A and B are shown apart, each in its own frame.
Chain A
């Protein structure tokens, strides 16, 4: 087993190798890498993998880690079912 096979995103099974390859191809933002490789879109919504990917981007590109970590957060955090949304509405 090589370093490239290390799993970075456990939710979507994305390896370090894939991430490195994308960065080398010029995808140097979390948003792009997320859209191409789906990492960060799993059940944990990137809590686990995002910092690791950001570190990899910083290591390869020399970009400032804070710039890299800036990303959009969108609700609803933790998720909610349609039924639960409707139930809240029924109370009105």
Chain B
């Protein structure tokens, strides 16, 4: 392990690896990524890995669209032949009320302003795309054919491999234990395998973002919340798009290998690092999915697990350099959409760090809360 670095990135999830790759591509030399377990062992490797461009705010639409462009061309982009199991069969968003349909219409306007090919559908049209859909209470739907999902583990690995090729040192099973600060300046990062001298640190620690903030005396306005997810046995293809509903509270996809992956947003979950599974989740999911997609009621759930959403006050990420502590960067609070923002945030953050003008005109800084400029994204699970 290097004992001196230009930047130490704490966290080997999609964010840490994407930023490392982009920095290396820009020519930064001594980049070290610390990962306390294996790559993508945090939220990234546990997530649903959906990539949706159908957002309600311009900047989320933009970032997701840019990410999708990168993922579509990932081999060229990384200059490396990789398969990330990208399946682009769209996202079908379901509305269960007049009010939700109106919101969808507003969102479509934003999306169309960025040339995202989304469209409004009647329940009947939705059923043409998903024949197994129970449209009984569905009011309307929205669909974007270029949305989709990828394999999060392989995507992170692909970034990591390309980063390593460009000289990045990725230290797995290496935990950051302290950040050394003298006279208000970062001096280095202590790990369980030794000390690394550096003036720059990136907090990309996902569920542990708050703790990595505390290491530098920062109280970041984020907390972690358990989100559960399950996977079924492999069955023949019967669901093309990711099906999702905010009000019915579910997302469900069928991966290219045939298993279904699904989850929902929990109610009354206590903040914390608990990622145990619950039987209540199984019951809730079974109840919903047997209603919405009755044809899969005989499919077997083979495994359930959970991961952390790292959540900020407006459920949107915080990406900036700390004003209190120069050299301390953060990419935290991704809630349920860090995977799909990863590729574009990798570009954006590397530009912030190297002092270039960012490619995307977005406001994601920590100061937004003090300025009362919270991001009012209506479409989150």
Contacts and interface: CB of A to CB of B under 8 A. Distances in A.
A and B touch in the complex (CB under 8 A): yes
B169 to A, nearest CB: 13
Which of B233, B287, B298, B301 has the most chain A CB atoms inside 10 A of its CB? B301
B195 interface: no
Contacts of B157: 36
B257 A35 contact: no
Interface residues of B, number: 29
Contacts of B233: 43, 79
Interface string A49-92: 00000000000000000000000101110011111011011000
Contacts of B300: 79-81
Interface in B317-345: none
Contacts of B304: 74-76
A20 interface: no
A81 B153 CA distance: 26
A46 to B, nearest CB: 11
Given A35-B153, A45-B302, A82 B296 contact: yes
Given A29-B38, A32-B38, A82 B286 contact: yes
A74 B305 contact: yes
A26 B287 CA distance: 42
B153 to A, nearest CB: 4
Contacts of A10: none
A31 B286 contact: no
Interface in B288-307: 289-290, 296-305
Contacts of A74: 277, 303-305
A76 B282 contact: yes
Contacts of A85: 282-283, 286, 301
Nearest to A25: B161
A14 B264 CA distance: 33
Given A81-B299, A81-B301, A83-B297, A36 B154 contact: yes
Contact of B301 (A29, A35, A79): A79
Contact of B303 (A31, A45, A88): A45
B45 interface: yes
A45 B45 CA distance: 18
Interface in B103-149: none
A86 B301 contact: no
B287 A81 contact: no
B38 A86 contact: no
Interface in B200-249: 233
Nearest to B257: A38
Contact of A82 (B40, B277, B289): B289
Nearest to B260: A82
B38 A31 contact: yes
Contacts of B289: 82
A31 B297 contact: no
A79 B154 CA distance: 26
B41 interface: yes
Contacts of B290: 82-83, 86
Contact of B286 (A35, A36, A86): A86
B287 A89 contact: yes
Which of B153, B289, B299, B303 has the most chain A CB atoms inside 10 A of its CB? B303
Contacts of A88: 283
Contact of A79 (B40, B153, B302): B302
Contacts of A36: 153-154, 157
A67 B73 CA distance: 39
Contacts of B297: 81-83, 86
Given A31-B38, A85-B286, A86-B287, A80 B301 contact: yes
Nearest to A86: B286
Given A76-B302, A86-B283, A89-B287, 8 more contacts: A35-B40, A75-B277, A76-B304, A79-B301, A80-B282, A80-B301, A82-B285, A89-B286
13 contacts: A31-B41, A32-B39, A35-B40, A35-B45, A72-B305, A74-B277, A74-B303, A79-B301, A82-B286, A82-B298, A86-B283, A86-B290, A88-B283
Interface of B: 38-41, 45, 153-154, 157, 233, 257, 277, 279, 282-283, 285-287, 289-290, 296-305
